[in-house]
A and B are shown apart, each in its own frame.
Chain A
Amino acid sequence: MTPFRIALFTLFTALTGAAATGCTAVQPWERDLHARADMTPDAQDAAIDDHIYFSKEASSGGRGFAGGGCGCN
């Protein structure tokens, strides 16, 4: 376990814990900020990045969509 990995897993766990315990439902009228366009990741950019990294590295996808294929890896 590298220090990097430890730090990231801690963040992961902390956030999961926050998600599980700190969830009082946010009312619809309190979700103004979430409606802002920049709070949704850009799907086209994500797909392009995924394709680039898939052809240069040994990992693929895992981010939220499944499928697609090419002869590059």
Chain B
Amino acid sequence: MSATPVLALRGVSKRFGAVQALTDVELEVHAGEVVALVGDNGAGKSTLVKTIAGVHPIDEGIIEWEGRSVSINRPQDAQHLGVATVYQDLALCDNLDVVGNLYLGRELLRLGTLDEVTMEQRARELLNTLSIRIPSVRIPIASLSGGQRQVVAIARALIGEPKVVILDEPTAALGVEQTAQVLDLIERLRERGLGVLLISHNMADVTAVADTVHVLRLGKNNGSFPVKGTSNEEIIAAITGATDNAVTRRQARNAEAAK
């Protein structure tokens, strides 16, 4: 793991009108590291991802890219830096084939026209190196299963040779086998030296592949844990704020009363 994180957020805040969605959030993603971002609904995970992806520019704080401070105001800025985002809804074009989707928006050209042959060849190579099994690279996305679409969406993120890949709930709608395939793929991304930011609700997935877990709660950092040596309960307690709730407060009061 390199000393300088590829991507670092320092004291990032984001407001939407009267809502403080993010407050002084810190986050670091190193090359070859899988960072899981967990938190309850409304904790600010999606907002955080969107600030990195350039959908919502940050209000305060600094985004550092390989140690340099950068400003990400548009999705293109993030893409140029080398951040690839796979959103939960995938947003693939059902009518285009796998090759068409992989290269959508960055088609290879030959004499000014689409170079289908090279794109098909490279697509097959990429899918092979990632051990992605799909029936054919020339069938429309509509024919693929949910898990296959997910891996195609992730593979598409890799076409631009990014340094950080953000995966938003990649296993949310998948079955057991497909989830395992996606987790395998995430490990392969780490082996390729990419930084992976994984947003998930699923503790089993997080502990299976992540190196570090960052917990967000009500738009603030609520702890960062190395996966090894941390129990699920500790993470869940940080997510739900179980250390500070009606039950613990009552226990504390009772304890004081007993004195």
Partners in one complex: no
Interface of B toward A, CB cutoff 8 Å: none
